[in-house]
Amino acid sequence: MRITISGPPGSGKTTVCTLLGERLHYDVVVSGNIFRQLAKERNMSLSDFGSLCSVDPKVDKELDSKMVDIAKSADNIILEGRLTAYMLSSNNISAFKIYLYASKEVRAARVVNREGGSIEQREAEIVEREACEALRYKNYYNIDITDTSVYDLVIDSSMLNPEEIVEMIVSKVS
């Protein structure tokens, strides 16, 4: 079974993917790691790299194409990424699609715990990044990132720990 996990920055996607992959013995592919590596290779912050992507669609399209190719080549895999559910759906690739979300404040606190900085700084970065991504996705793919109708399961991760989320998912995919 293919599983996609999507959601905004700080919603718990990567942590849940890792734990779920361990639980199900599935490989996990995290698009954010690829995106961060591309930013690092260019000596750019995520925000600056996102801005570059907003004027040069090649990076997004290359990443999305890689995720589709990986999904086509594997059955028991977890794919994490903001657009992965949409990309698989539009390419007629079956998957159980999950969307995690949490309040901006909770997500900012999680990012601070992971990467440092202040809550105010991280909230501002989240707002900027989400606006940039929403515009890119609409322009490049005509996708409204706020439309969750493509997902099989939508989870508010604000008050749940990662293990509780994994249990919810396992109960749905077993």
The answer to whether the annotation marks 57 as part of a ligand binding site is no
The answer to whether the annotation marks 32 as part of a ligand binding site is no
| Mean pLDDT confidence for 81-104 | 95
CATH number of 2-173: 3.40.50.300
Q: Please give the pLDDT value at position 57.
A: 83
Residue 71 has pLDDT above 80, yes or no: yes
The answer to whether the annotation marks 13 as part of a ligand binding site is yes
Following DSSP, what letter does each residue of 61-89 receive, concatenated? HHHHHHHHHHHHH-SSEEEE-SSHHHHHH
What does the pLDDT look like over 115-167, one tens digit per residue? 999 999 999 999 988 888 898 889 889 999 989 999 999 999 999 999 999 99
The answer to whether the annotation marks 11 as part of a ligand binding site is yes
By CB neighbour count within 10 A (0-12 exposed, 13-18 middle, 19+ buried), where does 116 fall? exposed
